[in-house]
Amino acid sequence: GFEFCWLCRGPWSDHGSHTGGYYNCNKYDKSNAKDEDSRAENVKTELEHYMFYFHRYESHKNAMKIADEQRKGADKKGTALMEKFDVRAADTKFLLEATEQLINNRRVLQWSYVYGYYLDQDKSRVSEKNLYVYLQEDLEKHTNYLSELYERPTEKIADYQAFVKWKEEVTNYTRVCQRFLQNFVEGVMGGLTVQEKY
């Protein structure tokens, strides 16, 4: 039974033409309701900011579990390839190397979002943040591509020539990912070193 203004949350009986009209409350700007709304908006923004980093962290954590399963299945996949194309065990070693690289990349990417969350809080480190995001994006893109290459089903590899081509692609991209991981780590460490000097 209490009538109130939806804007300032004050009693409706205090409103009228002297407050800017019934639907244009000028008391809102000076009311506690405006402060509460501002605080709620800030909390919402902070939560959305946090959730972005949390979801990316979880995404890479789950992808790392998939990469671990791929590593466990690398021997089985290697055996299938040896039987299908009559190749040696050494010719399938690249599968284990690729999965190891994927696990390393996913681990770094997972924790990079924790670092990124706190780096984002420090507005004085904008140039470092820009380099960080650029390197992180590159590492993420190349890691995802290596994962796609690795996951190619053995049934889709038609003949020995296709196997050799696929093996070269995976091997080369494993090295590319290794280099991008190294660049990312060096970039982050370089940024930290610069900050620690000051």
Residue numbers in the chain where pLDDT is lower than 70:
18-24, 28-29, 191-198
Residue 116 Cα distances to 104, 125, 138, 194, angstroms: 18, 11, 15, 17
Residue 137: its pLDDT value, please? 94
pLDDT of residue 178: 96
Q: Look at residue 19 in the predicted model and tell me its pLDDT.
A: 64
Tell me the Ramachandran region of residue 21: left when phi exceeds 0, alpha when psi lies from -120 to 50, beta otherwise: left
Left (φ > 0), alpha (ψ -120 to 50) or beta: where does 20 sit? left
pLDDT at 194 (0 to 100):
40
